[in-house]
């Protein structure tokens, strides 16, 4: 669970059920964050409900995840706030995989090179 989390609403009151759902879904993203980045991770989530246009009711979830060396931002709309949170979670998973590939040390690469060198020496 991401320890530093801020959830707020713009033009709407965030109830306990929505807060708990967002914490469950987006707080569980720490599985995709490298160990050294978990301590410094800060998640900021804001929910918006703009004025409806001719029968459309659109809900927006804007999330920002600050990690060492990078800030990941996802803004998504959906038919309700819970659906928007689900879409944001899916997009964050993709972005965190890219972040991990970019900032994770090349341990596997070194391990493979070491095996190749040992194979030549024998």
pLDDT digit string (tens) for 16-65? Answer: 999 999 999 999 999 888 888 899 999 999 999 887 777 677 899 999 99
Amino acid 90: pLDDT:
97
Compute CA distances 83 → 48, 58, 70, 72, 88, whole Å: 13, 11, 26, 20, 9
Amino acid 4: pLDDT:
94
> What are 71's two structure tokens?
């800030």
Q: What is the mean pLDDT of residues 92-120?
A: 80
Task: Report how far Cα 100 is from the mean position of its chain's Cα atoms.
Answer: 12
Q: Which domains does the chain have, with CATH numbers?
A: 4-121 (3.30.160.100)
Amino acid 122: pLDDT:
66
Distance between CA 61 and CA 54 in Å, rounded?
21
> What are 28's two structure tokens?
């569980």
Amino acid 117: pLDDT:
83
For residue range 69-93, what is the model confidence (pLDDT) as tens digits? 899 999 999 989 999 999 999 999 9
The residue with tokens 């713009």 is 10
């Amino acid at each position: 669970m991401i320890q530093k989390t801020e959830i707020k609403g713009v033009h709407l009151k965030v109830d306990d059920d929505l807060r708990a759902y967002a914490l469950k879904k987006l707080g569980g993203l720490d599985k995709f964050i490298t160990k050294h980045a978990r301590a410094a991770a800060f998640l900021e989530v804001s929910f918006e409900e703009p004025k409806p246009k001719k029968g459309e009711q659109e809900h927006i979830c804007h999330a920002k995840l600050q990690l060492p060396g990078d800030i990941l931002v996802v803004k998504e709309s959906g038919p309700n706030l819970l659906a928007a949170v689900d879409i944001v979670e899916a997009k964050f998973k993709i972005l965190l995989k890219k972040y991990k590939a970019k900032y994770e040390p090349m341990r596997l690469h070194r391990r493979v090179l070491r095996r190749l060198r040992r194979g030549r020496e024998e």
